[in-house]
A and B are shown apart, each in its own frame.
Chain A
Amino acid sequence: MGTQSQIYAGAFADPVFAAQSVFRTLMDSFARPGTIGRLSTQSSPPSPLGNASGAVALTLCDQDTAVWLSPALAKSAVSQWIAFHTGACVTEAKDEARFAFFEKGAAVPGFDQFALGTQEYPDRSTTLVVEVEALTGGQPLVARGPGIKTEIVVAPKGLPDVFLDFWTANRAIFPRGIDLVLTAEDSVLCLPRTTKLERE
């Protein structure tokens, strides 16, 4: 497929109901951190953005949400795909982005480089959408916090080694902080800033 047709194709076939369905999966997944939510609707963004990450972009991004893209995504047709289908403008300033997208295997910089919100407006923060190799099968981490009855083990595969340090630092500045959507294939695992993670 040529670059132009990649840019114009791959959005939701039925945007109203697809966005509702993807949002509900995200809402349930943020309300129950550590559970894996399967998206019932697919998008087909240009490589290297994954399908689930593309669906998150189509569901939540628009002209009111500046988007930051990893270097590889920024160089690809993804930049124009997001701009065309959502109206969001792509920014190079991490701390101005409401959403930040990373393809599988991309280097993830320290979370404190993104918008963390302020003590008065902790909601003015970046949500990171990070595609990983798989949502299971990695280093097991015990998750606790709101939305989790006692504890739940999460084991996303393909996160950088420093992830736990980044996350612990993020948890320490609550109510400020980033929120995280991990994606793989057609599924998501959401970690709101309230979730505490520890090695098993």
Chain B
Amino acid sequence: MNDLATYNFAYLDEQTKRMIRRAILKAIAIPGYQVPFASREMPMPYGWGTGGVQVTASILGPDDVLKVIDQGADDTTNAVSIRAFFQKVANVAVTTKTVEATIIQTRHRIPEEPLKEGQTLVYQVPIPEPLRFLEPRETETRKMHALEEYGLMHVKLYEDISRNGHIATTYAYPVKVEGRYVMDPSPTPKFDNPKMHMSEALQLFGAGREKRIYAVPPFTEVVSLDFEDHPFEIQTFEKPCALCGAENVYLDEVVLDDRGGRMFVCSDTDHCEDRRAHGHAGSMLASTQHQRKEPAE
């Protein structure tokens, strides 16, 4: 007997899966609305994406191909642990390639490669309530959603403008779904917000500690909140990726040495590797290749 035999498929018991599955169907039927569910203890601490893990465990089947990313990368401790967990408890096929995955569990990024019909993006969400920092009481935020009272959220964004001259919120930038619910897109950079709009993929959000599941079906309107005189804008980067030369992608700063050397590279590691495999090279890659050649000349 190996360890696997002692687990139910995908770790969760069938009753828990059924409860989460019912919550997912309601979430799809009411886009952007946070459906309460009875979150279970998972063999990993909160903050490790227990909400996303429970959603993935409830939808996953033997034919799925799973990709797990954390800050865009497949090789961080968090991503590696979750991927290994599902390999162990569901014996599921895994990949780092966005195009091959049927389910992508993510923390903090949406892949650069546009998602397709048949793919499901599962977000790990720490704080699902976009109004929480304005109003700590759940009964009150629920009322605000019920009555579509989102004025306070606009006031907060406008305070940003008067203080900074622009909307300073760069992560978890609130969106309105299908003209009705204001929703927290999870702590993804606002750079990724436009990717949620009319996506071909189904987007599911799981918050373990706060016990909420919500969803954005495919082909659903997702609009970032803004003002006529201060329209929503995504982050822009001055230079392309130093490794693959990609423009219009989200870049992370990488420190190269202790003398202030640094470069900006794709946060989406699969996208970067795929571009390099197809012959694209950024300034840093081109210059290191150049340097390597020099001694021979």
A positions within 8 Å CB-CB of B: 15-17, 19-21, 23-24, 26-28, 30-32, 59-62, 64-65, 98, 118-123, 125, 127, 146-149, 174-175, 179, 192-194
Contact = CB atoms under 8 A, between A and B. Distances in A.
A98 B21 CA distance: 14
Contacts of A28: 202
A151 to B, nearest CB: 11
Nearest to B180: A175
Given A16-B14, A123-B35, A147 B218 contact: yes
A179 B33 CA distance: 15
B19 A64 contact: yes
Contacts, number: 108
B220 A146 contact: yes
30 contacts: A16-B9, A19-B17, A24-B61, A26-B25, A27-B21, A27-B28, A27-B59, A30-B28, A31-B202, A31-B217, A59-B18, A62-B15, A62-B18, A118-B146, A119-B146, A121-B142, A122-B30, A123-B23, A123-B26, A123-B30, A123-B35, A146-B178, A146-B220, A147-B219, A149-B198, A149-B218, A175-B181, A192-B28, A192-B29, A194-B217
B31 interface: yes
A174 B180 contact: yes
Given A127-B25, A147-B220, A175-B33, 7 more contacts: A16-B8, A20-B59, A59-B18, A123-B23, A147-B219, A148-B219, A149-B219
Contacts of B60: 20
A120 B143 contact: yes
Contacts of A193: 29-30
Contacts of A60: 18, 21-22, 25
Given A16-B9, A30-B29, A31-B218, A120 B146 contact: yes
B25 A20 contact: no
Interface of B: 8-9, 14-15, 17-19, 21-31, 33, 35-36, 58-62, 117, 142-143, 145-147, 178, 180-181, 198, 202, 217-221
Q: Which of A20, A28, A120, A147 has the most CB of B within 10 A?
A: A20
Contacts of A123: 23, 26-27, 30, 33, 35-36
A90 B99 CA distance: 45
A68 B118 CA distance: 33
A23 B9 contact: no
A125 B31 CA distance: 15
B14 A179 contact: no
A20 B18 CA distance: 9
Contacts of A65: 22
A30 B29 CA distance: 7
Nearest to B200: A149
Contacts of B9: 16-17, 20
Nearest to A64: B19
A17 B35 CA distance: 25
- Pairs of residues from A and B, 9 with the lowest C-beta to C-beta distance, nearest first: A192-B29, A119-B146, A123-B26, A147-B217, A146-B220, A146-B217, A31-B202, A20-B61, A120-B146
Contact of B25 (A19, A30, A121, A174): A30
Contact of A122 (B25, B33, B221): B33
Contacts of B117: 32
